[in-house]
Amino acid sequence: MKVKTLATSGIIAALYVAVTLLVAPFGFTNVQFRISEMFNHLVVFNKKFIFAIVLGVFVANLFSPLGLYDLVFGVAQSLIALSITIFSAKFISGILKRMLFNTVVFTFLMCIIALELNLALELPFLLTWLTVAAGEFVVMAVGIPIMLALNKRLNFEKLI
């Protein structure tokens, strides 16, 4: 791994952690509003960002009140969703279309987080899936224009 890739990944992971902890009470509950999830769109620009995002999720989840549950389920959900988005890039042309697809994938796969909350806190699965999926959808949808604007300035494709 190049030094530039490693350094950029570290910065992205640190930003993910900082933004997650900034809104911590809303990032670990059954009504999740984890603003840092908009960083998931980075893999649409360059698949190398998967390492930074997964590392950021792992470190942020070290601070979760759910402990090991969040480390396993949260990291797994991110890794699966990011991998699906990366794989789909072969079939979906255009950044905006890929970001919309990424939003749908992450929203749907919040069933993994709902399962985690069901096991850890005995929350009702379907209602929990609805609430965490709604929060994820809002963050990811609002993240699209933000990430597109940042990309114009930073050029994510060549940043890493």
Q: What is the pLDDT of residue 152?
A: 96
**Pick among 1.10.1760.20, 2.160.20.10, 3.90.1150.10, 3.40.1160.10: CATH of 3-159:** 1.10.1760.20
The pLDDT value given to residue 27? 65
Q: Where are the domains of the chain?
A: 3-159
What is the DSSP annotation of 47-69?
Answer: TTHHHHHHHHHHHHHTT-TTTHH
What's the token pair of residue 56?
């950021």
More confident: 160 or 152: 152
**pLDDT exceeds 70 at position 67:** yes
Q: Are 59 and 15 in contact (CB under 8 A)?
A: no
159 confidence band (pLDDT: 50, 70, 90): confident
**Rounded mean pLDDT, 134-156:** 97
Q: Which has the closest alpha carbon to 144: 97, 75, 89, 82?
A: 97
CA angle 153, 97, 48 (to 5 degrees): 60
Say how many residues make up the chain. Answer: 160
Do residues 61 and 74 lie in contact, with contact meaning Cβ atoms separated by under 8 Å? Answer: yes
Quick check: 26 pLDDT over 70? Answer: no
- CA angle, corner 80, sides to 104 and 132, nearest 5? 50
- 78-89 average pLDDT score: 98
